[in-house]
Each structure stands twice: as C-alpha cells, then as structure tokens.
Structure 1
Amino acid sequence: MKWKLLTVLFAAMFVLAACGGGGDEGSSGDSGGDTGTEEQESSGESSGGEVDSAAAEEAFQANCASCHGGDLGGGVGPALDSVGADMSQDDIVTIIQNGRGDMPAQDVDEETATQIAGWLAQKK
C-alpha cells in the first residue's frame, strides 16, 4: 500500500514539474509542424507586427505543450486551440508571466512570452 501511494505521489510530482517548462532551448527553427499556417501568416493582431509562427510554435512546444498538448487540445492544462477568441495577446502574456489558477508563472523571457502569446492569439 505504501509503495502504491509513493508511486502516485512521484507520478504527480513528475507531471507538475513538467509544467514548469524550460525556456533554455535555443531557436533552431525546426518546428516540424505547419498547423494553421494560413492564419499565422497574417500579422499578430494586438502586437501590430508579424508573428514568427515557426519560432513561436517551437517555444510553445518547449514550454507549454507538456500541459496544454502539442496539438493545443489540452491535457493537464486547458485546450488552447481557440484561446484567441476569448483573450487578447496582452491577456495571454500576463497569464504566461504571472500564472493563473493552477498554472504557475512560466520562466520565459518577455520576448518569448510575447511570441507565444501572439501565436496563440491568432487561434480563434
């Protein structure tokens, strides 16, 4: 019985640690995905500039996908496949930097947070 409890606690700790996301990885530009590229080629709506969708998706995969799903479909965290319909880029940046609910603040620089948020804001 103790081993089962320890196993469950260890697994829960592992899942929660995975949501802390790194941010130490460099941008090598090999995202491998082309999800929504037509939408992403339009400019970021609230930033007023272009969103580098490949770099933004790579940053998302490195920092967010472990909880929100690699396909934005959710997992431990909520689905983000249409988050742009409900939130602006600025709202998303605030959540990335400060956390919200069960989501802890992410250890990413402001540029990365803005890049990810601009990409997610296009998901409607």
Structure 2
Amino acid sequence: MKRKLLGLLVGLVLVLAACGGNDETAGDATTVNAEKVFRQNCGSCHGQDLSGGVGPALDKIGSVYTQEEIESIIETGKGMMRGKMIVGAEVEAVAKWLAEKK
C-alpha cells in the first residue's frame, strides 16, 4: 500500500513539474514580453494592432489613463471585460506598455 501511494505521489509530482508554468508570469515586469502577452490574451477583443473590435481601441489609451489606472482596469475589469485576464508581472508589464501608447 505504501509503495502504491509513494508511486502515485512521485508520478503526480512529475506530471505537475512537466506542466511547468507560464514563463511570462515568472520573474518581474522587465522580463515579460508585454506585446506578446497582450496579443495572446487581449488582442482578440482589442485588436492585435490596438485598433479595437469587440473591446475599445487602445492605440491611444496612455493619453487617457495612467499605468496605475490601466493596472486597476486589468485587475478588476471594466464594462464587459472581466478582471484578471492576466496576472502577476504580466499586469504591470502590459499596463506599462499600454500607458506608452499616446
């Protein structure tokens, strides 16, 4: 019984280790490719080129909101957009990148 349990535990650990994680969330905001994260998570609604679509255009969002305000919108959501579409270092990196769009 103990061998089976130990085998199951070791197998589970190996499976979880193999799954890894999203490398974009690891580290800090300076190591995250904000444009890539945006395209993968936000571009389908806001347009791959920030021109809008289902969601509003974000090509000049930095002239409307500060980085901190953009972070807050990403975390809590706004309108039809739900919050926490991205998390961790991705939020800061994408917000900084978008805040530069003026």
Q: When the two structures are superposed, what TM-score results if normalisation uses the length of structure 1?
A: 0.57
Stretches of structure 1 lacking an aligned partner (at least 5 in a row): 1-23, 28-49
What is the letter of the counterpart of residue 114 of structure 1? E
Q: Which has the larger radius of gyration?
A: 2
Deviation (angstroms), 1:51: 5.7
What is the letter of the counterpart of residue 82 of structure 1? K
Alignment of 1:15-34 (within 5 A): 25-27=22-24
The yes-or-no answer on 1:60 pairing with 2:38 is: yes
CA-to-partner distance for each residue in 1:36-81, whole Å, 9 max, x for gaps?
Answer: xxxxxxxxxxxxxx966x8110010111001000000000000000
What is the letter of the counterpart of residue 76 of structure 1? V
CA RMSD of superposed structures (Å): 2.0
Answer yes or no: is the 8 Å Cα contact 1:51–1:118 preserved in 2: no
Q: When the two structures are superposed, what TM-score results if normalisation uses the length of structure 2?
A: 0.69
Stretches of structure 2 lacking an aligned partner (at least 5 in a row): 1-20
Specify the alignment match of 1:101 in structure 2: 79
The yes-or-no answer on 1:122 pairing with 2:100 is: yes
Specify the alignment match of 1:85 in structure 2: 63
Answer yes or no: is the 8 Å Cα contact 1:25–1:62 preserved in 2: no
CA-to-partner distance for each residue in 1:22-43, whole Å, 9 max, x for gaps?
Answer: xx7545xxxxxxxxxxxxxxxx
| Aligned residue-pair number | 78
Q: Which has the higher helix share?
A: 2
Whole-Å separation in 1 of the counterparts to 2:30 and 2:46: 20
Deviation (angstroms), 1:107: 3.3
Whole-Å separation in 1 of the counterparts to 2:77 and 2:71: 10
Deviation (angstroms), 1:108: 2.0
